[in-house]
Chains A and B, each alone.
Chain A
Amino acid sequence: MDDPDLVAPHRQELRRGSVVLASLIALETPGYGYGLLDALERAGLPVEANTLYPLLRRLEAQGLLTSEWDTSETRPRKFYRTSPDGIQLAKALRREWQDIGAALDRLTPDTKETKP
């Protein structure tokens, strides 16, 4: 089971949904596109730039992020911040994430035997 061609698409599929949650959590502290890309990668959740940047705009359009142009530095950057709605959603998604983990534990034969 270490064929990378077989593993990669499944990993990607599994991680895809986590990008939204990770972005909502990370942007509770305001951040800009490239900074977030870098932060996600350093945290161990690398995302393609061409996925992340459009995603940020979509989340903003859905009211889950707010944005503001910061022109005080030499390079103007668009800073995103998770909105109250986004924080609510992140909480719900995080609960969901933990539920999935718990469900997977319950389904694993070893844990099944130890539980009852």
Chain B
Amino acid sequence: MTTTPPNSTSSATTPLTDSYIAATLRRVPLGQRAEIERELRASIADAVEGRTEHGATPGTAEFDALSDLGDPARLAANYSGRTLALIGPDTYPSYLTALKVISWTVLPIVLVVVVAISIVQGKGIAGAIFGGIGQAIMVAVYLGFFVTLAFVFVDRGVTAREFATHRGSEWSPKFLHVEAPPTARSWAEPAWSVVGSILLIAAVVAQRTLSPVTSASGTPIQILALDLWTIWIPYFLVVIIASLALDFARLGIGRWHPVTAMLGTLLTLAGTVPFVSLMWQAKIVNPALWRAVGHPEWTIQGNWLVLTVALVVALVALGSIIELWSKRSRRQGQVASA
């Protein structure tokens, strides 16, 4: 889109200057574009003129003037006062920690589980190991992507809020967030989340071959419904990994923050709502399993078992959401009494 004001000059309009200006403008807020374009065109024309007066040819003068102005991305960033980093200094250390810890725990376990299962299924050792490495690489790519994505959201949210709260007001110690001293900062919560998530993921994978119930022909009956693998199991895995990343982000920030609380709420809902709905429809557990153990009535939508489990899960989720937000009032209470 062009936003040339009607009386703007055309003396310096060459394709090179035009594309430089376009590259700058598309990175600045819409409302400022017309004014910045007009001013920038005049400044470039002035610079070119200044150089030609000193004997440069128009072509080199323009090229040098634009080189002096430098990378349009940086110029635009200076105009809009926006940060150029995806993950800023506030959250970068915890981002690295999260990536390292999650990779060093999840990937070896995926590798071992996949290799073990392949061997149990009677594949050769070499095939099993290559298969395991392949799966681990795929999981690594997913992990990297979702952990990064989660941190980008946290970083944007945190910096935007800090900026909004500190701008235009004199800083005072009362802005300090009451937080536990660093020694008391607990690794227990993320550590338990990592262990819990790994066990859960391992169990989901393992139940495909290791089931307490076998069919009449002796093959194990999977515990989870087979349909879940198309969409829901990958979906829940993503939610679990995103929650892990959030735990680390929370640890890195070191205190309650509305953005992490909001993301935590969204993730809890993203996990719970589909789970409760699937549970109520009796679509979580493999119906073949219930029939094999003599309880066909538990495959019916809304039976007492699925209703009870769905209710319990919903209550636990509600409790954890309340806990997410209750830390805020505790913090504010401390500030008020301090």
Of all chain B residues, the one with the shortest Cβ separation from A55 is B78
Of all chain B residues, the one with the shortest Cβ separation from A35 is B46
Nearest-neighbour CB distance to chain A for B283, whole angstroms, equals 57
Nearest-neighbour CB distance to chain B for A77, whole angstroms, equals 5
| A53 touches B (CB below 8 Å) | yes
Task: Name which of A33, A34, A37 has the most chain B CB atoms within 10 A of its CB.
Answer: A34
The residue that A76 contacts in the complex, of B7, B78, B79, with Cβ under 8 A, is B7
Q: B75 and A76: CB pair below 8 A?
A: no
Of all chain A residues, the one with the shortest Cβ separation from B36 is A57
Q: B9 and A33: CB pair below 8 A?
A: no
Chain A residues proximal to chain B, CB less than 8 Å: 32-35, 37-38, 48-51, 53-55, 57-58, 69, 71, 74-78
A50 with B75: in contact, given A32-B42, A33-B42, A74-B11 (CB under 8 Å)? yes
The residue that B9 contacts in the complex, of A48, A54, A76, with Cβ under 8 A, is A76
Q: A34 and B47: CB pair below 8 A?
A: yes
Q: A74 and B9: CB pair below 8 A?
A: yes
Once the chains are docked, how many angstroms separate the CA of A35 from the CA of B43? 9
Q: A53 and B43: CB pair below 8 A?
A: yes
Chain B contributes a number of interface residues (CB within 8 A of A) equal to 22
Q: A53 and B39: CB pair below 8 A?
A: yes
Question: What are the residues of chain B within 8 A of A38 when measuring CB–CB?
Answer: 50
A78 with B38: in contact, given A34-B50, A54-B79 (CB under 8 Å)? yes
Nearest-neighbour CB distance to chain B for A111, whole angstroms, equals 34
Q: A57 and B79: CB pair below 8 A?
A: yes
Once the chains are docked, how many angstroms separate the CA of A37 from the CA of B79? 17
Q: A75 and B79: CB pair below 8 A?
A: no
Q: A50 and B50: CB pair below 8 A?
A: no
A49 with B43: in contact, given A74-B9, A75-B9 (CB under 8 Å)? yes
Question: What are the residues of chain A within 8 A of B74 when measuring CB–CB?
Answer: 50
Q: B46 and A71: CB pair below 8 A?
A: no
Chain B residues proximal to chain A, CB less than 8 Å: 7-9, 11, 36, 38-40, 42-43, 45-47, 50, 68-70, 74-75, 78-79, 81
Q: A34 and B46: CB pair below 8 A?
A: yes
What are the nearest 10 A-B pairs in CB distance?
A: A34-B46, A54-B78, A50-B75, A33-B43, A54-B79, A75-B9, A50-B70, A34-B43, A78-B39, A77-B42
Once the chains are docked, how many angstroms separate the CA of A37 from the CA of B69? 12
Q: List 17 additional contacts besides A50-B75, A57-B79, A77-B42; criterion CB under 8 Å.
A: A32-B46, A34-B46, A34-B50, A37-B43, A48-B70, A49-B68, A49-B70, A53-B75, A53-B79, A54-B78, A54-B81, A75-B9, A75-B11, A75-B42, A76-B7, A78-B39, A78-B42
A49 with B7: in contact, given A54-B75, A57-B79, A76-B38 (CB under 8 Å)? no
Once the chains are docked, how many angstroms separate the CA of A35 from the CA of B46? 8
Nearest-neighbour CB distance to chain A for B72, whole angstroms, equals 9
A/B interface sample: 28 pairs, CB < 8 A: A32-B46, A33-B39, A33-B42, A34-B47, A34-B50, A38-B50, A48-B68, A48-B70, A49-B47, A49-B69, A49-B70, A53-B39, A53-B75, A53-B78, A53-B79, A54-B79, A55-B78, A58-B81, A69-B38, A71-B7, A74-B11, A75-B9, A75-B45, A75-B46, A76-B9, A76-B42, A77-B46, A78-B42
Nearest-neighbour CB distance to chain A for B175, whole angstroms, equals 23
Question: What are the residues of chain B within 8 A of A53 when measuring CB–CB?
Answer: 39-40, 43, 75, 78-79
Question: What are the residues of chain A within 8 A of B78 when measuring CB–CB?
Answer: 50-51, 53-55
